[in-house]
Amino acid sequence: MSSNAIHIKKEYKPEELKKGVYLVLLNANHVPPHIGLLIDNVYHSLTIKGQELNINGNVLLKNISLRKIATVFIKLKKHPVFSNQFLNETFVEQVKLFDKVNDHTNTCMSPIRLFFEEFYAIPKKDIKLIFDLLSDLKMNDFIDATYGANLGELKENIFYLHTYNEADLKKQIKSELQKIKH
**Over the stretch 66-124, which tens digit does the pLDDT of each residue have?**
999 999 999 999 999 999 999 999 999 999 999 999 877 899 999 999 999 999 999 99
Calculate the CA 78 to chain-centre distance: 17
Provide the pLDDT for residue 182. Answer: 59
C-alpha radius of gyration, the chain, whole number: 15
The band of 30, judged by pLDDT with boundaries at 50, 70 and 90, is very high
Contacts of 117 (CB under 8 A, 6+ apart): 123, 124, 127
Provide the pLDDT for residue 112. Answer: 97
**Over the stretch 52-78, which tens digit does the pLDDT of each residue have?**
999 999 999 999 999 999 999 999 999
Residues 160 and 182: their CA atoms lie apart, in Å, by 33
